[in-house]
Structure formats: structure tokens, C-alpha cells
Amino acid sequence: MAKKTGNKLDYDFVPLDNEYSYFILSKTVNSVGVGAHSEGEEHPFRGKSVSQLERLMAENNVYLLWSGHISTDVEKEVLSFTETKLAEEDIELNLRRRIFSVLVEILENVAKYSPGKGPEEKFGMPVAMIMLEDDVYSLTTGNLILNENVEDLQRKLDTINKYDKVGLKELFRKSLSGQTITSDSTGNMGLIDMARKSGSKLVYQFEQINELYSYYILTVKVEDRKD
């Protein structure tokens, strides 16, 4: 790692008990050639916050937590990691496929409404999370969105949430044939597909940040089903 990047390694050992410690290795890739923190005593690297985050995720059954701009390459990495994680958990194949399919669509939804990396870094970076609660997998994303797009997106979400399983199937068919809620058939199909494959309503929230942007939070719940 050090050879390929030319950067120093940040590390820490957080004691857990008399027998074990939690080893944290942080690799920063930049052009400076040092780690995320100075190697001197003034700003030493401390891994306690990472250890606390891992413990918090474990206590709340959080399978995935990602924060950062979601590009095509990043999306592939998130999907690959999630696919491996779900396979390790011995989740039934059909349920695993549904979770993965919904994750693909919900990440595409983030990318679709992204105003760009610059505004995200200034007003709010995208996040993606998967957690398990009472045998239900909750997939949640948050991302910045232009206020001018909020009303139209909210109308789409509300319209989709009115349909049951049969209605969603017909709505998806119409979207494929070009008879969509609006002319934006691709965006509609992704949202419809999330509702169809999850079997649940699309839970959303818009928090206005300023006159230009809001933060868009979307949660889709996927539970095991036998039908």
C-alpha cells in the first residue's frame, strides 16, 4: 500500500480487553506523501472514533454505511461490497436478489438528482445505508437535490405510493411503453421498480437547506416474502 501510493500509513491499536485490541489501518491517497494526520505528536492519528463507529454499526445491524460523492466507479464498488456481504450472511437467494436490485435503483436515484460534487461538498454529501431490523432490510439514501426538482419528484413518489402490487405492475408496463407519469420514463421506472421489488411504500423526506438546495432522504424496506 505504501509503495503503490507513496504515502505513509496511519494506524492505531484500540485496546478492547487484556487479550485483544482493535487494529485500525487508514490509507490516504493524495499527492502529498503523508497520511491523513501528521506523524508528529501534535496531530497523531487516533482510531477510537473508527472503533466506536464499528461498534455502533454492529449494535444497530448496519450492513453498509457509505458517505461521499457517488460516481459510476464508486457505485460499482458499493454494489460489489454489498453483494459479497449479503452472500456471507447466508441470506436466501431470492431475498438477496431483491435487496441488490433495490440498491441498484436507489443508488441510480442518487446519481440522477446529484447537483455535482462541488455543491455536495459544500452543503451535504450523499450517504447510503443498509440496516436490518425485525427481519426487514431498510435501504436508505440521502443526497442533495435542487429545490426546483423537489415538487416534481414528490409528485412521482406520491403517485407511485398510491398503487398496490397489481397497479405497480401495470404502471411499470405503461412506463416501458412510454406512457409515463411524465415524459421522464427512465426516472419513473426506477422508482416504480423499487416499489415493486421491495413490496413496500417509498418513504421520503425533503429538508430544505437554502433557497437553492434541499436534502432528499429516501428509505425502501425489503422483507422476506414467500409469494
Residue 67 has pLDDT above 50, yes or no: yes
Residue 46 has pLDDT above 60, yes or no: yes
Q: Are residues 53 and 64 in the same domain?
A: no
Please report, for the domain that includes residue 66, its CATH number.
Answer: 3.30.565.10
Answer whether 10's CB lies under 8 Å from 36's CB.
Answer: yes
Higher pLDDT, 90 or 167: 167
Helix (H, G, I), strand (E, B), or coil: what is residue 107?
A: helix
What residue type is assigned to position 176 of the chain?
Answer: L
State residue 218's pLDDT score. Answer: 97
pLDDT band at 113 (very low <50, low <70, confident <90, very high): very high
CA 159 remoteness from chain centre: 24
Residue 28 has pLDDT above 80, yes or no: no
Nearby residues of 207 by Cβ (< 8 Å), 6 or more positions away: 214, 215, 217
Q: Are residues 75 and 113 in the same domain?
A: yes
pTM score: 0.78
Q: Are residues 68 and 85 in the same domain?
A: yes
Q: What is the pLDDT of residues 162-218, one digit of tens each?
A: 999 999 988 888 877 765 445 454 457 889 999 999 999 999 999 999 999 999 999
- Please give the Cα distance from 100 to 82 (Å, whole number): 8
Residue 39 belongs to what domain range? 1-58
Query: What domain count does the chain have?
Result: 2
- Please give the Cα distance from 197 to 96 (Å, whole number): 11
Q: What are the residue ranges of helices labelled H in 28-71?
A: 48-59
Q: Are residues 102 and 196 in the same domain?
A: yes
Pairing of the two strands 213-223 and 136-146: antiparallel
